[in-house]
Structure 1
Amino acid sequence: MTAHPFWTEENVRTTLPKREASGHKGTYGTGLLLAGSRDMPGAALLSGLGAMRSGIGKLEIGTDEEVIPYIVPVLPEVTYLRNGLQKTAESSVDLAKYKAVAAGPGIEPNEETEKATHQLMKSESPLILDAGALTERMYDERQEPVILTPHPGEFSKITGVDLKELQQNRSHHASIWSEKLGVTIVLKGNETIIAFPDGEAWTNPTGNSALAKGGTGDTLTGMMLGMLCCHKEWRHAVLNAVYLHGVCADKWSEQRSAHTMLAHELTELLPVVWKGFE
């Protein structure tokens, strides 16, 4: 059994970025989020809320045209790339303007998604791939960080590792495949594993069973995107997003049942949770 050190409260306190008085939205960067579809519009909203609450300067959501009216009343601060997945697949999006990119929540794993992901791989900013953007592929030519955020079932699908074997030694398999693929793997679950391709790896101590509900992974992807835009060190952004996501669930469960939390309530708790680490 491979054991990795815990990312601690002290680690978080010393690596969270400060909001400079002289800063402006350009200082903290623009993120692109490809998320949501006609059957899963809420994924774009949940991940969008996560990003906007996590230090980003400006967020652009690429989603189906019919999804946009559902998001605007709740998240009017966002701008939109109409039918963004299609436009990305057609190579008609200027990816150079984004500080970080995330793709996958609420998106079907089809040919268009694969073409769009292929285009995203050519970008020169950190790239998060989640949900529908997680398939078996190689990342050899990519220089900038790639962050994969699979739950165990998705990890098994993209690596071929038997699910039972994976669950018996999650740390080992996350590290092995992180190095093999040359990517960062955030293997979600109880004590999420964050494995970097150079062999560095951490265990996240926060979170509880309240996170075992649809939408919480979308929220994490958004938080990670936002933190990539405001952190100077991308590894700290990934680690701190996972840590604070878990703390929000822990905060919820202090006075309420873990059965009852909804994913969007994580981002409602985040402002007070984050303040506690400043």
Structure 2
Amino acid sequence: MSKEELPIWTKERVKASLPQRGDDSHKGTYGTGLLLAGTDDMPGAALLAGYGAMRSGIGKLVIGTPGSAVPLIVPVLPEATYWRDGLEKAARGEIEAHYRAIAIGPGLLPSQTTELAVQKVLKEKCPVVLDAGALSIRVYPDRQAATILTPHPGEFSRITGLSIQDVQKRRASLAKEWAEKLGATIVLKGNETVIAFPDGECWKNPTGNSSLAKGGTGDTLTGMLLGMLCCHENEKEAVLNAVHLHGACADRWIKTRSPHTLLAHELSHLLPEVWKEYEA
């Protein structure tokens, strides 16, 4: 197998690893997730990620977002609970609840507050998803739980110091190399997304298409990763299944509609029917 050839996380693998929802379960069975996302100017990122999480098996979702964003999001996502100005509170170390998983970054910009919040979040003993403004040059060797980075090629270029052209030429080998180097799982987004784990395991995702080349689809994926980490027992399977189903929703879209027309929130609306097709 050459450096750029990878095993594929197929529909059959997803079917075999999706969790069952027990008849005697309750919301606590599937955990509480924390999403730190959105700004005054980009409140929609918190909503898109929130939709993705709520559709992906989570028991309860807490969205930490600016107070100005809360009244905009609540009417369309009343199922979540809200932590006003959660990013600033997290940066001050005010994370008190126990979370099954945490995601931070959608809609955020790199800043001192964001970095402080990331450092506090990384001290928590649960899986952490870092996206968008939470991605920076760091290493993660001391965490016991999974750390998942979700860069597109430009963000991966910034993290590694490599050119985007180099990244695109050697996506698989570089994702695998840097996952081991950083001590983090890397979800390198793009055509045939590559998922590389720090232990050297690496997979190619077969789903997805050009309809995902639009703002907000990455926010939705971050939310789906958060939700899947809450309802899966196996962290690797959670990441792989989230990426696969995210792409499968996009594939469903283009069966009857142009890839030009997808809106990111429609991925979450398609997920219930797509997921059902994967259940045994």
TM category, shorter = over 0.9
In the alignment, the residues of structure 1 paired with residue 96 and residue 7 of structure 2 have an alpha-carbon distance, to the nearest angstrom, of 39
Deviation at 1:130, TM superposition (A): 0.2
Give, as a single letter, the amino acid of the residue that structure 2 aligns with 1:69: P
Runs of 4+ in 1 over 2 A off after TM superposition: none
In the alignment, the residues of structure 2 paired with residue 8 and residue 138 of structure 1 have an alpha-carbon distance, to the nearest angstrom, of 30
Where does residue 178 of structure 1 map in the other structure? 179
Where does residue 38 of structure 2 map in the other structure? 36
TM-score normalised by structure 1 residue count = 0.99
Where does residue 120 of structure 1 map in the other structure? 121
Asked if residue 139 in structure 1 is aligned to residue 132 in structure 2, the reply is no
Give, as a single letter, the amino acid of the residue that structure 2 aligns with 1:128: V
In the alignment, the residues of structure 2 paired with residue 121 and residue 88 of structure 1 have an alpha-carbon distance, to the nearest angstrom, of 11
In the alignment, the residues of structure 2 paired with residue 271 and residue 170 of structure 1 have an alpha-carbon distance, to the nearest angstrom, of 31
| Aligned counterparts, 1:1-278, within 5 A | 1-95=3-97, 97-278=98-279
TM-score normalised by structure 2 residue count = 0.98
Give, as a single letter, the amino acid of the residue that structure 2 aligns with 1:33: L
In the alignment, the residues of structure 2 paired with residue 42 and residue 166 of structure 1 have an alpha-carbon distance, to the nearest angstrom, of 29
Listed one character per residue, the Cα deviations across residues 140-166 of structure 1 (whole Å, up to 9, x for unaligned) are: 222211000000000000111111111
Deviation at 1:33, TM superposition (A): 0.2
Matched-pair identity in %: 62
Count of residue pairs brought into register by the alignment: 277
CA root-mean-square deviation: 0.7
Listed one character per residue, the Cα deviations across residues 18-63 of structure 1 (whole Å, up to 9, x for unaligned) are: 1100000000000000000001100000000000000000000000
Extract unaligned runs of 5+ from structure 2. none
SS at 1:65 equivalent: coil
In the alignment, the residues of structure 1 paired with residue 52 and residue 188 of structure 2 have an alpha-carbon distance, to the nearest angstrom, of 19
Listed one character per residue, the Cα deviations across residues 60-85 of structure 1 (whole Å, up to 9, x for unaligned) are: 00000100011000000000111000
Give, as a single letter, the amino acid of the residue that structure 2 aligns with 1:29: G
Listed one character per residue, the Cα deviations across residues 126-145 of structure 1 (whole Å, up to 9, x for unaligned) are: 00000000011121222211
SS at 1:128 equivalent: strand
Give, as a single letter, the amino acid of the residue that structure 2 aligns with 1:63: T
SS at 1:178 equivalent: helix
Give, as a single letter, the amino acid of the residue that structure 1 aligns with 2:238: A
In the alignment, the residues of structure 2 paired with residue 119 and residue 25 of structure 1 have an alpha-carbon distance, to the nearest angstrom, of 26
Give, as a single letter, the amino acid of the residue that structure 2 aligns with 1:215: G
Listed one character per residue, the Cα deviations across residues 237-263 of structure 1 (whole Å, up to 9, x for unaligned) are: 000000000000000000100000000
SS at 2:260 equivalent: coil
